[in-house]
Structure 1
Amino acid sequence: MCYLIKFAPSVLVSVLCFGLIIGHSCHDMHVGLLTAGPCWMFSDVKANITGETDDFFWSSRLLIGQTIASLFLVLYIVIISIGFVHRNHLIWQRSPLTNKWWIFISIGLLISHALLCLIEISLYVRSTQIATQFIASIPVYVWCLGFLWPLLLLSINTFTKRHEIKVYGRQQRRARLEFGTKLGMNSPF
């Protein structure tokens, strides 16, 4: 249950950011506003004034949205991993920065995933101008949600870890008590 509390909200926030980006893309392309129906990205590809289809723009925006959501998810997993550095100590009792391997792996993971995202966008989006215009047009509330969520996530994980430490201590006391009984003393374990 504790792992669900630690990981599920971050996955939901990543999916929400992706949905907000796609919703912004639909609003930006004026799909769903002029028609009475919802925005289906690949259901009705129309030719524009130049004769090209809007399929390229949709797929570019979809890829950029997925890339941004995956970048947020990797950031959240690194933030969650802070709680696993020292199992029986809270963050303020023992700093995760004392573990050099964790720092090295976390920074390496964030940098390598950011590079992978940049390579993916540069390979599959024809024009960098389209990518930069779309990323610049993403609403501020999506960026705020994505980058401010780790602050709340850190507090959620701290409270969850505090509960885990209490449960672990209670289990250890119970195990000592059971071992101290007559049956427990004669146990081969």
Structure 2
Amino acid sequence: MKNLNVVTWTTMISCFGVHGKADEVLNLFKKMNVLGFKPNSVTLTGILASCSHSGHITQSKKIFNSIRSSYGFEPGMVKTVPSASVWGALLGGSLVHRNVETGEVAVRHLFEMEPKNASNYVALCSIYDSRGMWKDASWVRLKVRRLRLDKTPGFSWISIRGEIHTFYQGNSSFSLDQKTLETLEWIIRTPLFVHSEI
């Protein structure tokens, strides 16, 4: 692009961040500073979210600590910006890195913002499971049951003769004819290298 501005830099930083490319985010942030563009609070929030989601905790702390001195923002201004998607990204990073403390902070905010979103409870439960914290995981499962939250199961779909059929694990309502069942069983029994020849 010939005409760069804070919006274009922020957009690229945010897009790389959403796709988990923290190294690219940090490189763009460095270039942005070298070329004399001053980040705004949206830019800084995107950078911090990307760093925390990707496990760049040291770099994230360094940037956060420089907000006031280098960019003239009060950290409180940045703290008020995070939405459920930012907290969700932090929770996702905590799940990937099995970070209980950060996950609990993120999920506390998410429980307030989206109390009926079962995915947040599932993520917290998975963090506890990954660290062998069975009592905590059981407490979360119990809370989900008490709140009567249902997580929508993932499903697959297939088009047969122009008609869409959906199915998910444990669903026996989808009927398959004998030929389809035989083919499915053959695929399951056949070694992987043969599949490429089909």
Task: Give the TM-score taking structure 1 as reference length.
Answer: 0.25
Task: Give the TM-score taking structure 2 as reference length.
Answer: 0.25
Structure number with the bigger relative contact order (C-alpha 8 A, sep ≥ 6) is: 1
